[in-house]
Structure 1
Amino acid sequence: MVDVLENKRSATRFRILVEIADRQPAVSQGEIAEAVGVTSQAVSEYIRDLVEEGFVEKEGRSRYRVTKEGVDWVFQSANDMRRFVDHVTDDVLGSVQEDAAIADAEFAAGETVSLSLEAGLLHAGPQEGDGATGVTTTDAAAGEVVGVTGFEGVIDLEPGHVSVVQVPTVRTDSDGSGADIAATCAGVPIVTAAGVEAVSALRDAGVEPTTYFAPGAVAADAASRGLDAVVVATQDTIGRVTDALTDASVSYDVAK
């Protein structure tokens, strides 16, 4: 167990030291007491102990500063907690969380299955090879939803690519986009539109957008699930679209 999580006193000591570091050098024991959830008298006692241990130095009345030794202890404790949290989220919760998948065959609860992504959806099939696996938590017939937990391995996935097509706004003196929208969208499963002009341009090209709500986020999510996408965006919305794609680390290009 991480030292600062072993008992309430250790955890309180850590929090008070952090509060001092955050407020130094003018330290209000009352404010710290309110933030930590203890009495001002308790804060005073903790600070006295921290001064005696060399983690805090007193510079005058209500003026304190965390020493190098105190900073090192907080830093090491924070690193220990970070590693502990990573262990909990990745190793413990990662293996017990439950997700839903489309069953590609009939399964009973407790069977080991192979996992894959198809059309952006998680599928569970008969166990084969060395790919990602899970354990079913429910019974399911082929085509039904089955619960899966105990995930192991990595799903083989080639991320999708997003093509962004820019079209003029209603205020722009232009005949339209130089890109062939119909050709760009041909065979692409997800097509989104940013702006009324983009919706109109798609419909003029004979393409009905998948959605015109949160187009950048939708395209980014599709690409992360292995699907290609097209976003048709007006000149005044394209920045928000590309920001969403960049934030999601999605591969994209912009056609004009």
Structure 2
Amino acid sequence: MRILREKSLATKLLLLLEILLKKPSKLTFLADAVGITPQAVSEYIKRLTKEGFVVQNDGRYQVTKEGVAFVHSHFLELKRFTEERIKYLDIIDRCIAVAGGDIQKGERVGLFMKKGHLVAFPNKKSSSTGVALRDARHGEDVPVGELEGIAEHYLGNLYIIPISYSIEMGSRDIPLDKVRDAFDEMRCDKVAVGDTVARSIVKSLGKNVDFEFAPIEASLEAVKKGLSVCFLGPTRQVERLISRVNKFNSSSPDKIIYRFIDI
């Protein structure tokens, strides 16, 4: 992709684009538009004229047919390049958030991650902002467009409690007082269980089970959204969970931090 590697080519194309759109008569206009000195513009114009891309008619600079073809070919190449790469960057220009207050269509909103949900607050400063695409009441979903920036977001913590038991005894093999102490220490947002025995243990402690089905996938999604999760399960499930965490960490700049709690 020459246009990204060669500064001189990029400058040529910017100058040709400005001439094509504005047909200026003064070099100072081009210098201000492109951000280089008038002397540098003069040198580029000489080069572009010699290459047959620019002519001067009635005191105004104009782009020739050859110059237009030159601009079109390079910008189409750039368009194809960016479109192909954008597919892999997961870039979005619109999203749906929860209204953090009553919002009017066209109002600027600040976007924040709150308890695992993207929340839009009217006229609140944020590292990520957008414009409400319709009216929304507090707590209602609201579509947001014209997105700018990235919302501040941190991964949650993952606490893992491996359990080992016999088929005959099941949850009775597990010291419940130690599990209770572990839960008190961790203060998790969500609780995941890897099997029936783990579910029985959590229920016997009077706690809610948040992730019972597909607990590994659900736990990772919650952690990615900034929630702290406690995963209680047998060794085979714990190994699968750690494998998924390591796979995520190997391909992401943000790393999931996990901690084992022995009981």
TM class by shorter chain equals 0.5 to 0.7
* Equivalent residue pairs, number: 178
Alignment of 1:180-219 (within 5 A): 180-186=178-184, 187-219=187-219
1:104 Cα offset (Å):
1.4
Percent same amino acid among aligned pairs?
A: 21
Distance in 2, matches of 1:163 and 1:111, equals 40
**Alignment-mate amino acid for residue 231 of structure 1:** F
Distance in 2, matches of 1:128 and 1:253, equals 35
Q: Secondary structure at the match of 1:129?
A: coil
Which of 121, 134, 140 is 1:138 aligned to?
134
Q: Is the 8 A contact 2:115 2:227 kept in 1?
A: yes
Distance in 1, matches of 2:164 and 2:205, equals 15
Which of 113, 116, 122 is 2:109 aligned to?
113
Alignment of 1:28-107 (within 5 A): 83-87=82-86, 94-95=92-93, 98-107=94-103
Superimposed CA distance per residue, residues 176-221 of structure 1 (whole angstroms, 9 cap, x where no aligned partner): 2698322333431110000111112212333231121111211111
Q: Identify unmatched segments of 5+ residues in structure 2.
A: 3-77, 250-255
Shift in alpha-carbon separation, 1:181–1:80, aligned structure 2, 3 A: farther
**Alignment-mate amino acid for residue 86 of structure 1:** R
**Partner in structure 2 of residue 239 of structure 1:** 239
Q: Secondary structure at the match of 1:123?
A: strand
TM-score, scaled to structure 1: 0.60
**Alignment-mate amino acid for residue 231 of structure 2:** V
Superimposed CA distance per residue, residues 62-94 of structure 1 (whole angstroms, 9 cap, x where no aligned partner): xxxxxxxxxxxxxxxxx9966442246659x62
1:228 Cα offset (Å):
0.4
**Partner in structure 2 of residue 74 of structure 1:** none
**Alignment-mate amino acid for residue 252 of structure 1:** Y
**Partner in structure 1 of residue 257 of structure 2:** 251
Structure in which a larger fraction of residues adopt helix: 2
Distance in 1, matches of 2:137 and 2:79, equals 45
Shift in alpha-carbon separation, 1:178–1:255, aligned structure 2, 3 A: farther
TM-score, scaled to structure 2: 0.59
